[in-house]
Structure 1
Amino acid sequence: MVTGGQRNDGAMLTEVLADIRVPRLGPGRPRTRPDAVVADRAYSTGVNRRELSRRGIRAVIPQKKDEIAARKRKGPTGGRPPSLDTETYKGRNVVERSFALAKQWRGLATRYDKLAITYRAAVILCACLAWLRSL
């Protein structure tokens, strides 16, 4: 999903989850629900956590420091902190390195393209070239 360069990615989580289609090895419909969503602190909003919980998806997202402070200020009424699977979260670096590789392309990093279809084509071309280098 390609959005405007100035658009907050966290606002698009619902649309991204709706577009997930993972084919099965055998017959049957493709999977539409991941086991977990691993994301950085920018996705740690209550709206995103509720959406993931509603769909039965485990959220592996650390809390922002201001959220932790607000919960502690409330004392016993602040509730429990959400759980964080640190081992699963450590795997997030693979995705971050992929983004860093894509941002070596100046046009992708600065978002020169005016049309979303052109930008998306550049992202796909970058991914194909990275995949070919890995063979």
Structure 2
Amino acid sequence: MPRLSLLLPALAALLAAGPILTAPALAQHAHQHGAAAAPAPAPADSPATAALKAANAKMHKDMDIPYSGDPDKDFARAMIPHHQGAIDMARVQLQYGKDPVLRRLAEEIIQEQGREIALLRTMVDPPRR
């Protein structure tokens, strides 16, 4: 290992000479040595991504229910917004997606999850006789 007393004069000479590398050259040098480059700015969300994020955020917010202690009712109450979130995301797929298999799946999700929401609501608020 070189002695510090030998390195200090060389370092002083380099500093006195001023910048040697331009910013692009310095970035290339850093890249060659594995230094992380500054992260590129994140692209703006597409309308489909924004819609999926909104549906997901709403679903999670609505699933944060006050618990009653009744596991059956709590399960049903939490699953209703979960299933509604699936429906909302499936609608985004139908609006923006192109894949025919996923579009068909989205249609099936809307139908089936709607039926399950109706059943879950009867468990939360049973019909009165």
Larger radius of gyration: 2
TM-score by length of 1: 0.21
Q: Specify which structure has the bigger relative contact order, considering alpha-carbon pairs within 8 angstroms and separated by 6 or more residues.
A: 2
| Structure with the larger helix share | 2
With structure 2 as the length reference, what TM-score do the two structures score? Answer: 0.22
Q: Which has the higher strand share?
A: 1
